[in-house]
Structure 1
Amino acid sequence: MKAMTYRGPYKMRVEEKQEPRIEHPQDAIVKVELAAICGSDLHLYHGMMPDTRIGHTFGHEFIGTVHEVGSGVEKLQVGDRVMVPFNIYCGSCFFCARGLFSNCHNVNPNATAVGGIYGYSHTTGGYDGGQAEFVRVPFADVGPWVIPSDIHDEDALLLTDAYSTGYFGAQLADIVEGDTAVVFGAGPVGLAAAHSAWLMGAGRVVVVDHLDYRLDKARSYAHAETVNFGQVNDIVRTLKKMTGGLGADVAIDAVGAEADGHVLQHVTSAKLKMQGGSPVALNWAIDGVRKGGTVSVVGAYGPLFSAVKFGDAMNKGLTLRMNQTPVTRQWPRLIEHIRAGFVSPRDLVTHRFPLEDIAEAYHVFSAKLDGCIKTVVNV
């Protein structure tokens, strides 16, 4: 089959690769139709994720058609069109039984925290991802869902991670009706979080980013107020002025570690180069909410090399909530919202590339060229 393969930082190409095979009775093989590039894929692309091995295939957002099923698969049949959550989970362990699918205990021998993730290095289990013609889907009876006939393919694709994660970020924030919510990051997850904050009852939504075209999208798509942190002297002070000196009720960190090493303005007003785990947005969130507020974290973090302002969070009495998204828990309500016309995930898609041009797709997405917000790969 043709598959995107990693050759080192900033180096990838489409190569002929062995097709995946059934390795366990509960496996399925899915023929990929659409995949997407996620902001967290850039941590891999830039060589910032440990144990990303040569030849690994990225891609944790994909939909496709069931090509083959193992003898133990009961709910799927060959020919079913499915959307596959980025989480790989068994469905029966201690954590899955409590709906913590992203923390499954049985699918990732290399970690005690996160479960399995498609195409996200051997730190998350070493599973090849969906930026390929075929992908092996373990525990096929508990992860994939048959795509409803009235759901657009690109809506289904964005539900496999980006939109579900943004919705989960707003959910974790425990928004009370009328709350002011500030969202850090105007990528697809941040835009979804900002839009979802209204669904949770927010009375005011503010989005913080440094790219004008993404802030334009935040205004048009999420109907949010916006702040360009590159154009203010102190983003925390600016947010305090916007909220009567108190700070926002909730903050959602949809940035995580800066994947491109971009130079940001730190809360101390010093300029510094971002490290792979630098928590600048998280510290802004801690400083930018009011005392007794809530900080929700759905941005991707690796090892932290700079200190989180945990003492400030403790002294302010903040509630910190975070996790990798248990994707399928979000689907019933999000499908209802799509059907009702309340959300349209596919409106976040700005660029589409064939699999053969995936190296160019990563370059455009990484460099934020041509107003790129979300990239879809046609397989």
Structure 2
Amino acid sequence: MRAVCWQGVHKVGIEEVPDARLINPRDAVIKVRKAAICGSDLHLYDGYVPGMMRGDILGHEFMGEVVETGSGVPNLSPGDRVVVPFPISCGNCFFCSQEMYSLCENSNPNARLAEKFWGHSPCGIFGYSHLLGGYAGGQAEYVRVPFADVGPMKIPDAMSDEQALFLSDILPTGYMAAENCNIQEGDTVAVWGCGPVGLFAIMSAKLLGAARVIAIDRFPERLSLAHRAGAEILNYEEMDTLETLREWTGGRGPDACIDAVGMEAHMHGVQHAYDKVKQALRLETERPGVVREAIQACRNGGTVSVPGVYGGLADKIPLGAVVNKALTIKSGQTHVQRYMKPLMGRIENGEIDPTMIITHRIGMDDVPDAYQMFRDKEDDCIKVVVNLAS
């Protein structure tokens, strides 16, 4: 079968790889119909996530058709159309029983590697390094899905492939980011980054009752979509972010701040230059300018929600502000399985249109160029969907 494979920093390619097959009775094999390039895939592309090996199959956002199931998957049948959550979760361990699926204790066979970085291991993830299991990803013609009796969700006939696709990751991620803000009636929420996760966080914050959402970015096409989603827009190249947020909130600051950017934040000034140099020299793994700014901006007693991906070590985090302002910080890989069914209901009811963020639809052969286009924000690229259906 053909698949999109990591070939080194800034290099992905289409390769012939062994066919996906059942290994465990709880496996299923899915014929991929649609996949997507995620912003967190760019951290692999740029070489900032350890544990990648040449030939690793990329992709953790995908949906498709069941072609084969193991004897331990009674809930699925060949021909079922399903969307697959990116966390691989057993459904039985302590964390899965608490619906904290991204912390599954049984799905990362390389947990010892992860423990060296983070103290404890999260779950395994499709197409996201050997640190997180070394699982083949979904930017491929077929994919093996472990614990298929727990993860994949059937898609209603009336729902399109594209409507369902983002239930695999970015829609639940944006929703959990907003939910983590503990939004109260009348709250103001600031969202840094108007990429796909940031846009869904904006939509979700409005659904959860935020009176105001302020969207922070510098690209006109992203700010335009944020405005369509109901946000006030702040172009940080034209206005000072901290001063503007103080002014727009009567000096108090936003009630909650969402960092939907992560480890490769673009900022201005000396601190950003410092981060770029240290990251290039691998003296720190992140450029944490946004999370610093969110901590500084948030009102006393507020919440900072961090769905943006961070992988290792960051410098100059203002812990003094966290303590003295009595801030709550909430983060984590998304517990996607918890949110898939209720968000599917919101899509069916017309409360969210996930397809509004799609800017590019391509075939597999165009994926290598699309990675660079997405990373460099060329051609007004916000979200790339890969069509794999024959």
Common fold, TM-score beyond 0.5? yes
Question: CA, structure 1 residues 371+224, in 2 after alignment: closer, same or farther (shift >3 Å)?
Answer: same
The answer to whether residue 329 in structure 2 is matched with residue 323 in structure 1 is no
Question: CA, structure 1 residues 312+181, in 2 after alignment: closer, same or farther (shift >3 Å)?
Answer: same
Give the SS at the match of 2:255.
Answer: strand
Aligned 8 A contact 2:266 2:272 in 1: no
Residue 252 of structure 1: aligned partner: 258
In the TM superposition, what are the counterparts of 1:5-24 in structure 2 within 5 Å? 5-24=5-24
More displaced 10-residue stretch of structure 1: 104-113 or 193-202: 104-113
Alignment gaps of 5+ in structure 1: none
Aligned 8 A contact 2:3 2:140 in 1: yes
Shift of 1:113: 3.3
Residue 264 of structure 1: aligned partner: 267
Task: Report the residue type matching 1:77 in the other structure.
Answer: S
Aligned 8 A contact 1:279 1:304 in 2: no
The answer to whether residue 140 in structure 2 is matched with residue 132 in structure 1 is yes
Aligned 8 A contact 1:264 1:272 in 2: no
The answer to whether residue 239 in structure 2 is matched with residue 239 in structure 1 is no
Residue 120 of structure 1: aligned partner: 128
Match of 1:345 among 340, 354, 371: 354
Residue 51 of structure 1: aligned partner: 51
Task: Report the residue type matching 2:353 in the other structure.
Answer: S
Instruction: Give me the whole-angstrom Cα distance separating, in 2, the residues matched to 1:140 and 1:77.
Output: 11
The answer to whether residue 364 in structure 2 is matched with residue 355 in structure 1 is yes
Instruction: Give me the whole-angstrom Cα distance separating, in 1, the residues matched to 2:8 and 2:83.
Output: 29
Give the SS at the match of 2:379.
Answer: coil
Match of 1:230 among 233, 237, 251: 237
Instruction: Give me the whole-angstrom Cα distance separating, in 2, the residues matched to 1:358 and 1:269.
Output: 34
Match of 2:163 among 155, 161, 165: 155
Task: Report the residue type matching 1:162 in the other structure.
Answer: I
Aligned 8 A contact 2:275 2:286 in 1: no
Aligned 8 A contact 1:91 1:142 in 2: yes
Shift of 1:339: 1.6
Instruction: Give me the whole-angstrom Cα distance separating, in 2, the residues matched to 1:65 and 1:158.
Output: 16
Match of 1:182 among 187, 190, 211: 190
Task: Report the residue type matching 1:178 in the other structure.
Answer: G
Residue 96 of structure 1: aligned partner: 96
Residue 226 of structure 2: aligned partner: 218
Shift of 1:273: 4.6
More displaced 10-residue stretch of structure 1: 353-362 or 105-114: 105-114
Shift of 1:150: 2.0
Instruction: Give me the whole-angstrom Cα distance separating, in 2, the residues matched to 1:331 and 1:17.
Output: 31
Aligned 8 A contact 1:263 1:272 in 2: no
Residue 117 of structure 2: aligned partner: none
Shift of 1:148: 1.4
**Deviation string for 1:298-319 (max 9, x for gaps)?**
1100112323212211110011
Aligned 8 A contact 1:265 1:272 in 2: no
Task: Report the residue type matching 2:190 in the other structure.
Answer: V
Aligned 8 A contact 2:22 2:69 in 1: yes
Instruction: Give me the whole-angstrom Cα distance separating, in 1, the residues matched to 2:86 and 2:171.
Output: 12
Give the SS at the match of 2:378.
Answer: coil
Shift of 1:334: 1.2
Give the SS at the match of 2:136.
Answer: coil
Aligned 8 A contact 1:209 1:228 in 2: yes
Residue 292 of structure 2: aligned partner: 283
Shift of 1:263: 4.5
Instruction: Give me the whole-angstrom Cα distance separating, in 2, the residues matched to 1:93 and 1:194.
Output: 33
Aligned 8 A contact 1:120 1:127 in 2: yes
Q: Tell me the matched-pair count.
A: 373
- TM-score, normalised by the number of residues in structure 1: 0.96
Shift of 1:277: 1.3
Task: Report the residue type matching 1:368 in the other structure.
Answer: K
Aligned 8 A contact 1:167 1:193 in 2: yes
Instruction: Give me the whole-angstrom Cα distance separating, in 2, the residues matched to 1:206 and 1:284.
Output: 14
Question: CA, structure 1 residues 213+272, in 2 after alignment: closer, same or farther (shift >3 Å)?
Answer: farther
Aligned 8 A contact 2:89 2:102 in 1: yes
The answer to whether residue 200 in structure 2 is matched with residue 197 in structure 1 is no
Task: Report the residue type matching 2:232 in the other structure.
Answer: E
The answer to whether residue 315 in structure 2 is matched with residue 306 in structure 1 is yes
Quote the RMSD (CA, aligned, Å): 1.3
**Deviation string for 1:108-152 (max 9, x for gaps)?**
133223211100011111001000001010000000011111222
Task: Report the residue type matching 1:176 in the other structure.
Answer: Q
Aligned 8 A contact 1:298 1:322 in 2: yes
Instruction: Give me the whole-angstrom Cα distance separating, in 2, the residues matched to 1:41 and 1:69.
Output: 28
Instruction: Give me the whole-angstrom Cα distance separating, in 1, the residues matched to 2:262 and 2:41.
Output: 13
- TM-score, normalised by the number of residues in structure 2: 0.93
Shift of 1:153: 1.0
Aligned 8 A contact 2:34 2:62 in 1: yes
Shift of 1:269: 6.6
Task: Report the residue type matching 1:244 in the other structure.
Answer: G
Shift of 1:228: 1.2
Task: Report the residue type matching 2:142 in the other structure.
Answer: F
Instruction: Give me the whole-angstrom Cα distance separating, in 2, the residues matched to 1:269 and 1:175.
Output: 31
Identity fraction in percent: 48
Instruction: Give me the whole-angstrom Cα distance separating, in 2, the residues matched to 1:269 and 1:129.
Output: 36
Instruction: Give me the whole-angstrom Cα distance separating, in 2, the residues matched to 1:330 and 1:178.
Output: 24
Aligned 8 A contact 2:275 2:287 in 1: no
Task: Report the residue type matching 1:324 in the other structure.
Answer: Q
Instruction: Give me the whole-angstrom Cα distance separating, in 1, the residues matched to 2:99 and 2:18.
Output: 34
Give the SS at the match of 1:370.
Answer: helix
